[in-house]
Chains A and B, each alone.
Chain A
Amino acid sequence: MMINDRNIKLWSSIGPRATLGLAINELSQNYEDLVVLTSDVSTSAGLDRFKKNYSEKYFDVGIAEQNLIGIAAGFSSENFNVITTTFAPFQVMRCCEQIKVNLGYMKHKIIMIGIASGLVLGNLGYTHCCVEDVGVLRSIPNLTIVSPADSLEVVKVLQAVLKSKNNSVYIRLTGGTNNPMVYNKDYDLEIGKSIELINGNDITIFCSGTMVYNSIEASKKLKEERINARVINMHTIKPVDKKAIEDSLSSKLLVSIEEHNVIGGLGSSISENLSTFSNSPKLLSLGVQDEYTKGGDYKYLLSRHKLDVDSITKKILEVYKKV
C-alpha cells in the first residue's frame, strides 16, 4: 500500500470509511486467508470495489449483527483472518454478548471495524451515533481498542493489526469526508504505544480519533496564551499506554479529549491509571457529558458537545487558570 503525498491527501479527502475500503482492497492481496464480513453495508464501508474484485472473500450476512460475529468466530476457529464491519452501534452493541463470548472468552481473533462512530451521523439521530462503544468494549477482556487519528492512521492501523495474531481488535472510525490530516507523511505506528505530536511542559492533552486534530489546533491557540500543551495521540485506548500517563505527571493539568461519552472511554481509562499515583495532577475530561442532545449535523453536534477547537481551548484555559 503506497503511502505517499498524493494518497495521504486523497485518503484525507475521501475520509476514513472510503479509505478503509481502499485499504482492504489493496491489502487483501497479501492475505490469502482474509475474509471480510459485513451486515449490508458494503457501500457505506467503501467495500464495493473489494466486493467486486474479491467476491470469494466477501460475505454479506444481512442485517443480522449477532450472526455476523458468530460466523466471524466460526471462520476464525478455522484459522481465517477475519474482518467484520458495520456501523459502530450495530458492530458493537447489537452483538455485545457475542463479542464477549466469542472474542473475549473464547479468544477467537477478529478485526471489528465500527464505521461512522462518534457523532458524524448526528443528523440521523443518536441511534446512528456511537458514543458508547469504547466504554462497552473496554470491560471485555482480550480485546484491543484502537481509534485512528486520521485516514492515514486508518491504513497504518489496519496494516498493523492484520500482521498481528495476538488479539481481537476493535477499530473505531470517527470523522467524515475531508477528514483533517494529522499526519502528512509516513510514520511509525505501534499498537499500544502512544505518539507525542507536540511537546509542552504545562499541560498534557491525551486524545484519540478526530479529537487529535482538534487537540493540535487547541494546543496552538494555547501557545498564543503562552501555555505549552503537549499533545499525545492515544490511538490505542486499550491496552492504554501506561508509561505515557506516568510521564505526564509533571504537567500542571491533564486533559482527555474524545468524541465519546466521558464515562467509559479514554478519559476514564486515564483516570483509572492516574488514581494509582499519589502525585497526580487534575484531569479535565472533555467529551460527551453523558447525555443525548438534540440531533444535528456533525459540526453542530461537535459544537453542542463543546468539542470544537474554540470550546476546547476555552475550557482548558478556564480550568488551567484555577490550577
Chain B
Amino acid sequence: MGVCRMKNTKNENVDIKYFAKNIRKNILNMAYTAGASSAHIGGALSIADIMSVLFVTKMRFKEKDPLFKNRDRFILSKGHACLAYYASLFENKLLDKNDLLTFEKNGSDLLGHPVRNMKKGIEFSTGSLGMGLSLGIGVALSLKKKKLDNHVYVVLGDGECNEGSVWEAAMSASHFKLNNITVFIDNNNFQQTGSNDQIMSLGDLANKWKSFNWNTITIDGHDFEQINQSFENKSTDLPNAIIAKTIKGKGISIFENNNNWHHAVITKKIFEDAMIEIES
C-alpha cells in the first residue's frame, strides 16, 4: 500500500527501523540547530516509531509529490511534535536538508508548530491543541462524498485529550460512521508540566474512546510489529483509535520519561552523546 522509500530493501521492518533511526537523528539535529529558542523534543521522540510505520508502509503518498492525488491525508494534531513530522517529510524528499536547518529561524517555513504549506506536504497548520481531529473528520466526510477510498490519519497527544473539542470530534466520527479515519493517540503519560495523572487524569483512555463508539486497539507504540499489526486489527465499520503506549523521549536514555525534555535546549555535549546512543 505504502509508497516505500527504500524500494531495494526487501525486509519492511529493516526499512522502518532505518527510517525511525533517521527521524530521531534529525529530531536531534533540528533541536540542536534551534539552539536557545528551544524545541519540543520528548513528544517528537515518542511518536517517531508510529510515524515511521505510517510513512514507510502504511500511508499512500508519493516521494517528492506533495499533491499526489491518491495520497492518504495526515494531520499532526499534536503539532508541537513537528520535529518528527519534518524529519518524516525529509526522509520522503518533501523537505530538503536546507529546510531542516531553518527550523524555528526567522522567516522559516518550519516553525515550532506546523504551518500549512502544500508545496512541502504540510496540509494543515496545527499547534493549538484539540483541533486536528475535527479537520480530519471534515476530510474523511469529503472523501466519502467524493467516493474516494483514501484514508485519514490523525496523531493526537494524550494530554491533548484534555481538550473538550477532541470529544466533540470523537462523538461525530462514529455518528457519521467514518471507517476511513484512524487516530493514533501518543499515550506517553506526560503533558507540559507533569504527568497526566498530576495534571488531569485521563482514566481509562481506551474505554473512553470505546464508549464513543470507536474501535479501540492498544499497542506498544515502539514495537514495529505491534504498530503494523494494529492495522490488521482495524475495524472496517467504525473509526479506529489506536492507543499507542509510548515513552516520552524514547531512544535517548537521559530524555526517556524525563519531562524536563518536553521543551528544552540541547547542549553540544548532550547532542553528541545522544547521537552516539542513536547510532549504537
The chain A residues found within 8 Å of chain B, CB to CB, are 35, 56, 59, 61-62, 64, 66-67, 69-78, 80, 97-98, 101-102, 105-107
Kindly provide the distance from the CB of A317 to the nearest chain B CB, expressed in whole angstroms. 49
Given contacts A101-B128, A102-B135, contact A74 B142 (CB under 8 A): yes
Provide the residues of chain A in CB contact with B133, threshold 8 Å: 70
Task: Tell me whether A66 and B128 are in contact (CB under 8 A).
Answer: no
The chain B residues found within 8 Å of chain A, CB to CB, are 116, 123-125, 128, 130-131, 133-143, 145-146, 164-165, 168-169, 171-172, 175-176
Main SS at interface, chain A: helix
Which of B135, B168, B175 sits near A73, CB closer than 8 Å? Answer: B135
Task: Tell me whether A66 and B165 are in contact (CB under 8 A).
Answer: yes
Provide the residues of chain A in CB contact with B171, threshold 8 Å: 62, 64
Roughly how many angstroms separate A188 CA and B169 CA in the complex, as a whole number? 41
**Which residue of A is nearest B137, CB measured?**
A71
Roughly how many angstroms separate A17 CA and B77 CA in the complex, as a whole number? 35
Given contacts A67-B172, A97-B128, A101-B125, contact A74 B135 (CB under 8 A): yes
Identify the interface centre among A64, A71, A80, A106: most chain B CB within 10 Å of its CB.
Answer: A71
Nearest 5 Cβ contacts at the A-B interface: A74-B138, A70-B134, A78-B142, A64-B168, A71-B138
Which of A35, A74, A105, A106 sits near B134, CB closer than 8 Å? Answer: A74
Given contacts A64-B172, A77-B123, contact A70 B135 (CB under 8 A): yes
Identify the interface centre among A67, A73, A75: most chain B CB within 10 Å of its CB.
Answer: A67
Beyond known contacts A66-B131, A70-B138, A102-B135: 8 more, CB 8 A cutoff: A62-B175, A66-B130, A70-B135, A75-B138, A75-B142, A97-B131, A98-B134, A105-B125
Given contacts A67-B134, A70-B165, A101-B125, contact A75 B141 (CB under 8 A): yes
Given contacts A67-B165, A98-B131, contact A77 B146 (CB under 8 A): no
Provide the residues of chain A in CB contact with B168, threshold 8 Å: 61-62, 64, 66-67
**Which residue of A is nearest B125, CB measured?**
A106
Roughly how many angstroms separate A107 CA and B168 CA in the complex, as a whole number? 23
Provide the residues of chain B in CB contact with A75, threshold 8 Å: 138-139, 141-142
Roughly how many angstroms separate A67 CA and B142 CA in the complex, as a whole number? 15
Given contacts A67-B169, A71-B172, A105-B125, contact A77 B131 (CB under 8 A): no
Roughly how many angstroms separate A101 CA and B116 CA in the complex, as a whole number? 11
Task: Tell me whether B131 and A56 are in contact (CB under 8 A).
Answer: no
Task: Tell me whether A102 and B131 are in contact (CB under 8 A).
Answer: yes
CB within 8 Å: A-B pair count: 89
Roughly how many angstroms separate A67 CA and B131 CA in the complex, as a whole number? 8
Task: Tell me whether B141 and A71 are in contact (CB under 8 A).
Answer: yes
Provide the residues of chain B in CB contact with A61, threshold 8 Å: 168, 172
Roughly how many angstroms separate A72 CA and B172 CA in the complex, as a whole number? 13
**Which residue of A is nearest B139, CB measured?**
A74
Provide the residues of chain A in CB contact with B125, threshold 8 Å: 101, 105-106
Provide the residues of chain A in CB contact with B131, threshold 8 Å: 66, 70, 97-98, 101-102
Roughly how many angstroms separate A106 CA and B128 CA in the complex, as a whole number? 13
Roughly how many angstroms separate A73 CA and B146 CA in the complex, as a whole number? 16
9 contacts between A and B (CB under 8 A): A66-B131, A66-B134, A70-B135, A70-B138, A71-B141, A72-B138, A75-B139, A76-B138, A98-B165
Which of A74, A80, A97, A105 sits near B136, CB closer than 8 Å? Answer: A74
Provide the residues of chain B in CB contact with A66, threshold 8 Å: 130-131, 134, 164-165, 168
Task: Tell me whether B134 and A78 are in contact (CB under 8 A).
Answer: no
Roughly how many angstroms separate A246 CA and B231 CA in the complex, as a whole number? 63
Kindly provide the distance from the CB of A130 to the nearest chain B CB, expressed in whole angstroms. 21
Task: Tell me whether B124 and A77 are in contact (CB under 8 A).
Answer: yes
**Which residue of B is nearest A79, CB measured?**
B142
Roughly how many angstroms separate A60 CA and B85 CA in the complex, as a whole number? 33
Task: Tell me whether A77 and B138 are in contact (CB under 8 A).
Answer: yes
Provide the residues of chain B in CB contact with A62, threshold 8 Å: 168, 171-172, 175
Task: Tell me whether A74 and B141 are in contact (CB under 8 A).
Answer: yes
Task: Tell me whether B139 and A78 are in contact (CB under 8 A).
Answer: yes
Kindly provide the distance from the CB of B129 to the nearest chain A CB, expressed in whole angstroms. 10
Kindly provide the distance from the CB of B231 to the nearest chain A CB, expressed in whole angstroms. 23
**Which residue of B is nearest A57, CB measured?**
B145
Provide the residues of chain B in CB contact with A56, threshold 8 Å: 145
Task: Tell me whether B142 and A70 are in contact (CB under 8 A).
Answer: no
Task: Tell me whether B146 and A106 are in contact (CB under 8 A).
Answer: no
Task: Tell me whether B116 and A106 are in contact (CB under 8 A).
Answer: yes
**Which residue of A is nearest B146, CB measured?**
A78
**Which residue of A is nearest B123, CB measured?**
A77
Task: Tell me whether A70 and B116 are in contact (CB under 8 A).
Answer: no
Roughly how many angstroms separate A76 CA and B142 CA in the complex, as a whole number? 9
Provide the residues of chain A in CB contact with B140, threshold 8 Å: 74
Roughly how many angstroms separate A78 CA and B144 CA in the complex, as a whole number? 11
**Which residue of B is nearest A33, CB measured?**
B145
Kindly provide the distance from the CB of B177 to the nearest chain A CB, expressed in whole angstroms. 13
Kindly provide the distance from the CB of A61 to the nearest chain B CB, expressed in whole angstroms. 6
Kindly provide the distance from the CB of B92 to the nearest chain A CB, expressed in whole angstroms. 20
Provide the residues of chain B in CB contact with A71, threshold 8 Å: 134-135, 137-138, 141, 169, 172
Provide the residues of chain A in CB contact with B124, threshold 8 Å: 77, 106
Task: Tell me whether B134 and A80 are in contact (CB under 8 A).
Answer: no
Provide the residues of chain A in CB contact with B138, threshold 8 Å: 70-78
